[in-house]
Structure 1
């Protein structure tokens, strides 16, 4: 998987995959003239070469097409952009050794196709646009990985600490429970979250306490932190610590989030 380390400190790595000697020399000189760009040489193969964008001509596309497609596939979902330069007279069809390659197959591999001759300013604009898309895809990929890591850590922490999470959306009048919340309550995965299911398992003497605390959180934004008795859906008796924290958006009370922790062992030790 491509990571942000693909971009070096000295600049963006550009692979000038141009087989025409004269055009390649001009392209390399142009890249060298931009401090933010760094030309890279083809290593042992496309797969072993690290770059952020590839600029190629028709001959290079024909020669390396399969490996370029493989490289793009292995870096997905991060975008690895390819910019194809074509003579104006041949911009409709790209030939391969097997005959002709349909335009839709070209677009599966190439992200930008420009005809030559091309002004340097336009080439710079096209290249900058592709690199912005790449940077955005890298950022989104990093955020997704971080979110997945946080979810994994949160899930592990719930399992270790016997803590279940819940949320009540006030405007939508909708509940959400975590898997550990359901386990503490002895509820099956297909049990729909609801206020009734959330409170009916508390001890009859403790049920008015949790209902009053929850109503104060929803109506007045008052948080609560309570130790209460609970008999789960499988008729097992527990002590739980239940916490509710009102949440605000733009100054308005929007939801209540909280946790339920199984503290039965701690209560047994105290008693």
Structure 2
């Protein structure tokens, strides 16, 4: 099945074939883009079709916004899990049903994390709970200065069970992850940037432009190099150093055989910008 034949109910998929940038929008603005199993499964389905799409070199995730938002109300990348309908039909007091439900959520987040192309979260507004867990799965995060981040699950009698106990500490360190999770406070974009949760912090007026510039920079890069480097890093952080170094050598051995490797070296010697083809 092709992407154009898919009918999504909770996401929007926009492919810019010229720039080779695909944008996936969490399309539940009236619900602050809260996450449901269906939404995550739709993202996983879209990504499975984009893996081998030569017109997609980078994927940007963003949250939908209301056309006429209430004055003073922040939008959301995602305000977390949908506690009203996201777990509909599941007995939340049953260990078996809850662990089974979150296994499905883990699988969807794994699909985002393991996607072979570079992913970006473009965050304007809230990224809380499951939304914060979501952004930990992508490669790079750009946020507006008005954005707010949190892992407040303990205050709700739960834990960040969508991968938050594991990915957040790998991203920002054990101490800061424990601070966010145990205190559960909402932190500013500046604090998130200081923690390393956000890579780029921009004014709202520059948000779209800077996001596109970042995505375009990546899209112009050597995609095979990006894929193998991402795999080595994602696997290497879970392994002893020696294993990680072996992954790095294996990636290098494959990369030097590509046309893009030759193009990069040739461009350097000729003092020009390389033109990578993904070959």
TM-score, L = length of structure 2? 0.30
TM-score, L = length of structure 1? 0.31
Higher relative contact order, chain-length normalized (CA < 8 Å, sep 6+): 2
